[in-house]
Structure 1
Amino acid sequence: MGTQFRWSFMHVVAMALIVLSLSHSSVMVSGVYYKKIQVMLINMLEPGKNLHVHCKSKDDDLGDHVIGYYQNYTWSFHDNLFDTTLFWCGMDWTGTGGSTVNGSFEIYHAKRDLNRCSSYCTWAILKAGLYSFNRATGEWEYFFGWPIVISKGAGMKP
């Protein structure tokens, strides 16, 4: 009986170690335990304005993307075992007069978004800032403003 208890305990410990190591090495493996999350960014700046985005997490770099007006960029992933998944995106666009507007934003943070977004986090990108749809309340929420504006040719004389 004592040998059987040790054997079961050893199996539990071994399985726990395997799950922990896999949850840190691959978001897809951890998805076996948690639901799939989808993030959508919608360019609602104004007609003719493209939005440049570069999104990444600790484990994944999604690369550069250009989103046309009223178009979207969508990706999906599985939250990790400890609900610590975090994606952030650098974004920029050319404002009126040629100025560059840019910022970097936490687009998905598991502890903040699991209940607020459920399985779908939708972001509307406007000139006024970034709005996120709260599925729990059914409302759009203002989340982030554009922090930096760099004028084209700033400091240069014609």
Structure 2
Amino acid sequence: MGTQFRWSFFMYAAAMALIVLSLSHSSMVVSGAYYKKIQVVLYNMLEPGKNLHVHCKSKDDDLGDHVIGYYQNYTWSFHDNLFDTTLFWCRMDWTRTGGSTVSGSFEIYHAKRDLYRCSSFCAWGIREDGLFVFNRDTGVAFYFPKLHLWIPDKQV
């Protein structure tokens, strides 16, 4: 009877562990119990009078359209999933003086890249020459020239 009880308990524990792991992959409630909250902030640092239009989303969440005024910001927070695969990307655009539209789609939070670099706070400065991420813990601003440059839209 002892062996059968141990086997049943082992199977029950294994089944519960699989259920928790599968739920934590997509559930912020379960994964949030293990991971700290991560905050992302986008600062419009373009130029006075220039609004930044953003639409951010992940596989699970669509944060919708937002307009960020000059020197204003847009902030959201979330918990990384159990497997550190959380990814948020944002489509952004703004209009230069003279009327040309500039746009881009950027990986704003990628757990494999940002979990240790940003810790729990990823602040992005959106400027005319690209996007900069600021690490509050180290006080260092990083620039990603190959990944985070604006692409002018073609004039029709």
TM-score, with length taken from structure 2: 0.91
Within a 5 Å distance, the mapping from 1:31-46 to structure 2 comes to 31-46=32-47
Where does 1:71-82 land on structure 2 (aligned, <5 Å)? 71-82=72-83
Identity of aligned residues (%): 74
Query: Structure 1 residues 28 and 46, CA, compared in 2 at 3 Å: closer, same or farther?
Result: farther
Q: Which runs of 5+ in 2 are unaligned?
A: none
Stretches of structure 1 lacking an aligned partner (at least 5 in a row): none
Aligned partner letter, 2:112: K
Identify which range, 7-16 or 48-57, moves more after superposition. 7-16
Matching residue of 2:149: 145
The residue correspondences of 1:6-155 to structure 2 (distance < 5 A) are 6-135=7-136, 137-143=138-144, 144-146=148-150, 148-150=151-153, 154-155=155-156
Letter in 1 for 2:63: L
Three-state SS of the structure 2 residue aligned to 1:90 is strand
Q: How many corresponding residue pairs?
A: 152
| Residue 30 (structure 1) shift | 1.4
TM norm structure 1: 0.90
Task: Provide runs of 4+ in structure 1 moved above 6 Å.
Answer: none
Q: Name the Cα RMSD after superposition.
A: 1.4
The 2-side partners of 1:116 and 1:136 are apart by 9
Per-residue CA deviations over 1:127-147 (Å, capped at 9, x if unaligned) read 01000013454210112111x
| In structure 1, distance between residues paired with 2:115 and 2:136 | 10
